[in-house]
Chains A and B, each alone.
Chain A
Amino acid sequence: MEIVYFPGCTLKTTALSLETSALSVAKALGLEIKELERWNCCGTVYSLATDDLMKQVASIRNLIYVQASGHREVMTLCSMCYNTLAQANIFVRKNKKYLEKINAFMEEEPDYKAEVEVKHFLTLLKELGAEKIREAVKNSLSGLKVACYYGCLLLRPKEVRIDDCERPRILEELMECLGAEPVYFPYQTECCGSYHTAVKPDIVARRVYQILNNAKENDADLIVTSCPLCFFNLKDRQRDIKKIYPDFKEIEVAYFTQIMAKALGV
């Protein structure tokens, strides 16, 4: 069955590795992924104001494109895109009069009927089933201690979460299918600092130091993540951490799809 896919801005440029690894993994698992023909930036962060409908337009326009393509579901790889699209979707579903206003504003596009479901790649993989993934593994990752970092936007708020927000298991179960050994570390759902990296990178450095240290104390060899911003904060800010804490030892960070690609031999 064909699944339509919304990449989002970052996956085509700075996070290209996330996209290529994900697409090849999907192919190896027999999932047909087709990119949306027309899409624009989703807006990155869901606007928390109930009175500013302008900020929802970008997300809704994307959902209209999905609707126009004839598909009922859209898959995203980036946690931020997932969260923004999913929350915008719920917002217009709860407030029909806002949906009417937005539809009226976008007079060129067809009206959005609020029937599209937004899904993250991890949910799709879970639905595929552990068996199928295990069968496709060519190089088992046994011996690899992986710390699964979820960040914020996959698990919060309650309405859009893909797993329990205190003790999620979805990434751990995936890693187990690949033969790796997931290690629990309590900071796996702590925020990395997100957009502060653009303005005050020292804040991010201090946050990420805590997170990475916690992972290392729990014997992790590698950290996997799903969000390009978390990836950047956890990986590229490690040199900023070294400026503040010179004793800090670096640790490898990867996208979960990169690990999957390695295990599936693609």
Chain B
Amino acid sequence: MRLKIKQNFEILKKIEEISGENVFACYQCGMCTAGCPMVSEMDILPNQVIRLLQIGATDEVINTRTVWICASCYTCGSRCPKGVNLAKLMEAVRLVILRDKNNDYMRPEVMVKEPLPQIALISALRKFTA
């Protein structure tokens, strides 16, 4: 079935505002995907996240695993030839999902029950809860 292309400016504007990045500066070179360490775990590729935002398919982006697998390692942003920081865009998409209806992606109950360094707990909670 064809994707009905219709720009969803509302969500796009929110995402650009939260991240401070220009989604249309990306020319889809794929450098981010090529360097992403978590790409083998993702369902859509990092560069496809921006592509879908560019063509207005924001709903698809919101329903993927990819934005939650991102480890915020900044490899993408530091290599992008256009200076687009994809890590910030990923965070913005996550926040748009979390803030909408105050959804938590993860509840503390599902965390592993073994001794962990605090920073693991805190960062996981900060990233995955509203």
Contacts and interface: CB of A to CB of B under 8 A. Distances in A.
Q: Do chains A and B touch in the complex (CB under 8 A)?
A: yes
Interface of A: 8-10, 13-15, 41, 43-45, 47-52, 55, 78, 80, 152, 155-158, 165, 189-191, 193-199, 201, 203, 206-207, 228-229, 231-232
A203 B124 contact: no
Nearest to B14: A51
Interface string B36-62: 011011000000000000000000000
Interface residues of B, number: 39
Contacts of B85: 48, 157
A197 B112 CA distance: 8
Contacts of B33: none
Given A156-B75, A157-B78, A206-B41, A194 B123 contact: yes
Contacts of B91: 47-49
A157 B77 contact: yes
B121 A198 contact: yes
Which of A44, A52, A157, A165 neighbours the largest number of chain B CB atoms within 10 Å of its CB?
A: A44
B20 A50 contact: yes
Tell me what chain A mostly uses at the interface: helix, strand, loop, or mixed: loop
Interface string B109-121: 0111001111111
Contacts of B11: none
Given A47-B126, A49-B92, A191 B37 contact: yes
Contacts of A41: 118, 122
Nearest to A55: B126
14 contacts: A13-B118, A15-B117, A44-B123, A48-B92, A49-B19, A51-B17, A78-B119, A152-B71, A158-B78, A191-B38, A195-B71, A196-B71, A198-B111, A198-B121
A195 B38 CA distance: 12
A49 B119 contact: no
Tell me what chain B mostly uses at the interface: helix, strand, loop, or mixed: helix
Contacts of A191: 37-38, 71, 73, 75
Contacts of A165: 78
Contacts of B41: 203, 206
B105 to A, nearest CB: 9
Contact of B127 (A50, A155, A195): A195
A195 B69 CA distance: 10
Give 10 closest A-B pairs by Cβ, nearest first: A191-B73, A156-B74, A48-B91, A152-B73, A198-B124, A195-B123, A195-B124, A44-B123, A191-B37, A9-B118
A244 B69 CA distance: 19
Contacts of B29: none
Given A8-B119, A232-B120, 17 more contacts: A15-B117, A44-B123, A47-B91, A48-B19, A48-B87, A49-B88, A49-B91, A50-B18, A152-B71, A156-B75, A190-B75, A191-B37, A195-B127, A196-B69, A197-B112, A206-B40, A231-B117
B22 interface: no
A228 B115 CA distance: 13
A203 B69 contact: yes
A97 B68 CA distance: 31
A197 B71 contact: no
Contact of B119 (A44, A152, A206): A44
Nearest to A210: B37
Given A199-B106, A228-B119, A43 B71 contact: no
